[in-house]
């Protein structure tokens, strides 16, 4: 059967989020070529109808190249090692959906422009379950014609595509600001739960009240269950190490424009404490344990 969409999509970066997003592109009728540094991640997508690229440059030789990589270093490593910008066709657009620094976004924008290629930053708001349901919120910034060329693919992966202007780094600024708010919200919820616990209130009872009333929002609802159960081992959660990375990027962006972020600095200290406690690979909600440790709640009678 012929693909529903004429645009050919190359997809690089098949972690938990990337795999879900690529599956949705296939489900929407796109012809998708996939590549990943760990080849085994391609298997399920190939079985679902994707074409396996022999090398990363082959995936870049498509109408829309989507990359969903972990961080700045991963983006630079893949782009440079495989000369992806040169491998793109003249009409191609690179849609970088990773959470990157402002510096990396500006660098990638300049490098693509120098080569005569289009670059769009389109970081996502949402966790793997949201990605699987194609309900991501996607913040897209870049030249208007490039965003429009990528829009059908973006729409297949998310419920909203939020325009953020023609400078790609603006989308990254929004994503970093959103993750700053998320981390501080989770930290505040953990601290508040420790406060009520000190007075004999069960965490589950307090969290049920606040998430059913004044804080009935995804940022709280998504993390309250793990806090209530004190069960933070969620392979599909937002790893604390990534939260720490994003907080550092937000603080770097703030310093560059002389914007004070006192809450971010405080939250980063709690993140550093959690990293030192060996909690890097646990869900971000484990921040609640830092508050409990500070209050010695587990040592009380």
Q: Which residues are catalytic?
A: 175
3-state secondary structure of 122: coil
Helix boundaries (H) for 138-286? 144-157, 169-197, 203-211, 218-229, 240-256, 262-276
276 CB-contact burial (10 Å; exposed 0-12 / middle 13-18 / buried 19+)? exposed
User: Would you put residue 126 in left (φ > 0), alpha (ψ -120 to 50) or beta?
Assistant: left
Nearest of 189, 140, 184, 190 to residue 166 by alpha carbon: 140
Q: Are 162 and 140 in contact (CB under 8 A)?
A: yes
Nearest of 185, 195, 174, 243 to residue 216 by alpha carbon: 185
Helix boundaries (H) for 198-239? 203-211, 218-229
Q: Are 37 and 64 in contact (CB under 8 A)?
A: no
3-state secondary structure of 3: coil
> How far apart (Å, rounded) are the C-alpha atoms in residues 221 and 171?
25
> How far apart (Å, rounded) are the C-alpha atoms in residues 140 and 121?
6
- State both tokens at 275: 């990293």
End-to-end CA distance of the chain: 67
């Amino acid at each position: 059967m012929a693909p529903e969409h004429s645009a050919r999509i190359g997809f690089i970066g098949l972690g938990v989020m990337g795999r879900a997003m690529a599956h949705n592109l296939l489900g929407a009728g796109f012809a998708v070529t996939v590549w990943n540094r760990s080849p085994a991640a391609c298997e399920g997508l190939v079985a679902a109808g994707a074409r396996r690229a022999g090398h990363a440059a082959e995936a870049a030789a498509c109408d829309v190249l989507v990359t969903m990589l972990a961080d700045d270093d991963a983006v630079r490593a893949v782009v440079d090692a495989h000369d992806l910008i040169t491998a793109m066709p003249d009409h191609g657009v690179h849609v970088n959906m990773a959470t990157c620094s402002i510096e990396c976004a500006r660098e990638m924008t300049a490098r693509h422009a120098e080569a005569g290629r289009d670059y769009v930053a389109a970081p996502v708001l949402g966790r793997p379950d949201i990605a699987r349901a194609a309900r991501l919120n996607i913040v897209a910034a870049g030249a208007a014609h490039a965003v429009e060329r990528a829009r059908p693919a973006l729409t297949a992966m998310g419920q909203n595509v939020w325009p953020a202007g023609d400078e790609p780094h603006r989308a990254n600024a929004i994503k970093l600001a959103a993750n700053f708010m998320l981390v501080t919200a989770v930290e505040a919820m953990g601290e508040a739960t420790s406060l009520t616990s000190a007075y004999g209130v069960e965490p589950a009872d307090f969290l049920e009240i606040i998430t059913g009333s004044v804080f009935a929002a995804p940022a709280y609802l998504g993390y309250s269950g793990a806090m209530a159960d004190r069960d933070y081992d969620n392979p599909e959660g937002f790893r604390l190490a990534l939260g720490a990375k994003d907080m550092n990027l937000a603080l770097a962006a703030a310093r560059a424009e002389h914007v004070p972020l006192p809450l971010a600095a405080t939250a980063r200290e709690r993140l550093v404490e959690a990293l030192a406690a060996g909690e890097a690979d646990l869900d971000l909600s484990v921040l609640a344990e830092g508050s409990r440790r500070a209050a010695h709640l587990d040592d009380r009678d």
